[in-house]
Chain A
């Protein structure tokens, strides 16, 4: 294309020689993936709020895999005495606490800001004046956040479970261990949902990044901890359902056969609590998008 500069009455018009785009366009049904990629690219630009927890998740994975391998070898030398499956799986369950911690940092940094930042900067006009439905926007944002936070809370346990299966001494042992993979997937889905949906919902509800981040951190660190202690000390398992991290632990403990605390809620109750929190976050998100999607378009 030739470059052209035309001096107009008031200045220089720059033009590279216009040609209409005649090529293929991405189908509308797949444009939410553009938003997903943008969520990931934007998150990666954040200096340490994203890279550090991701690095932490990778380190956790490496260390846990190392411990798993060493334990496997010790167990093998002991000739199968003393419930070796349980001990190796314990590593997987314990490591989830670390994956979850890094997931909380990622959710606080990225998920709470995902909608709040767009509301502040008027980005909805940018999105919805284009061939994009509110559903596409929500799908794109959620998928991006699930991928990002799932790098820690989903990929971590699932990769460990696969390593665990690969460490089996023979094919029969590997087949016997296979159920650990869907269990890890279930734990990953529950843990990631418990972080992503409430965090993005909180951001959509409050509309301000700092307020949403503060509320999210206070909930996960202060309120959740306090509720867990109260529920445990007073033997009130239903109160403990208000603490999402405790709910995820109960579900994980059940899946991996950990002995449960007498003050803990039932696994199905904990699972239901995760679903309720997640749905509440999703509803808050949808309501905000519906009310704000076209608010500024066409002027005021």
Chain B
């Protein structure tokens, strides 16, 4: 009776939906891609499209200027898509989130350096605070740019997972059920609502409980897929989720 298992995998394995697989390997794809391979660049481009918002948020916090932020973001992503960041990606293990933040910061400091040189007549190290740096001083009631980035990242991840769930329900013809049941994704709501929802869908209360439970489970799965898509090691999903929760003020 000696069965030799290969290294055990967690029982709660990720769902095998086609989208899930694709997302899961995307960051890994990027990392393993050769410097100029089309696959690597495409995967990176896709990831960047999805996680565009956090970059803009970070830049807005840094630059204190919404228009400048958008311009910078545009330039930044253009550079990424041109393949400029792939080399860095190979070094950055683990998380796309860290990679992207690092890449943006690098890009930003590079541009600041360049613009400083232009303004001050080139090459002169300037230790005085220029405008942007002064404004970057932390403000009591406001998030630091890094924290804002992480928070927006968490919001983006949640939004995508929720949208995926909504689409799934709509495909199954359960769009109304999703709309009515989605408050339960954040936890308990008033009992009275469940009874009404149950009656409306012709379910008895216990059948509704199961349906709501299912919806929550599915959301959790989709969220994990979303998060796993940005990680190299799917085993780190829980830890990443906790970090994102902390970024939401947890």
Interaction A to B: no
B residues with a Cβ closer than 8 A to A are none
* Residues of A that sit less than 8 Å from B by CB: none
